[in-house]
Amino acid sequence: MTLLVFAFGFFDFIAGYEDISNSIEEIDLNIQAAELLGAFHDALLESGYQEHQLEILLVRILFCLFAEDTGIFPRHQLINYLLNYTKEDGSDTEMHLAKLFQVLDIPVNKRNKNLSEDLNALPYVNGLLFLERIDMPSFDAALRDELIECAYFDWSAISPAIFGSLFQSVMNKEDRRNLGLH
């Protein structure tokens, strides 16, 4: 009997039925990603960092998170950079992020020869994402930990199409609550 149930389920596509188990798992991962980024966003807001600069910072960080897990950056480049170069108390995190963003905006052949090997391994990101210089937020240990937690997440499993709309809701705590992300 179990075999028949499996056999019928196996041919569901003929009748137009879809297996939604992967879709549900994908939605769950997107919600987890939005929760992580939402917590980081809220921590930045609570620290007094806001508006245009906050939006730019989040987009840049999100790009770096995807880049690390989708092969644009060398594997674990961002997480290793954060763990190896920033202090646990977070006091120098903004300096290192600013440097990282600056390097991403410089073609590899035009970079300073004294640049660390880790930063020099990053690709040039053409497209103006890193062109504008912004004031960086001051980090403490908790804010650094929020960022590192985001970096540990596997962003390669996230659907950019679905996450795009969830990302927009990250900016508003009430929208996140309505989506069940609280």
Summarize pLDDT for 96-112 with one digit per residue, the tens. 999 999 999 999 999 99
Compute CA 70 distance to the chain's CA centroid, rounded to the nearest angstrom. 11
Tokens of 168: 């927009």
| Number of separate helices (H) and strands (E) present in the chain | 9, 0
pLDDT in tens, 44-95: 999 999 888 998 999 899 999 999 998 999 989 999 999 999 999 999 999 9
Q: What is the mean pLDDT of residues 156-181?
A: 64
Cα–Cα dist 7/64, whole Å: 44
pLDDT at residue number 153: 94
Query: What pLDDT score does 82 carry?
Result: 97
Query: What global pTM score does this model have?
Result: 0.79
Task: Choose between 14 and 127: higher pLDDT.
Answer: 127
Rounded to a whole number, what is the distance in angstroms from the first to the last CA of the chain? Answer: 43
79 contacts: CB under 8 Å, gap ≥ 6: 68, 148, 151, 152
DSSP E strand stretches across 41-166:
none
Between CA 126 and CA 130 the distance in angstroms is 8
Report d(CA 108, CA 101) in Å as an integer. Answer: 13
Q: Which residues contact 20 (CB under 8 A, 6 or more apart)?
A: none
Q: What is the pLDDT of residues 23-45, one digit of tens each?
A: 667 778 888 888 899 899 999 99
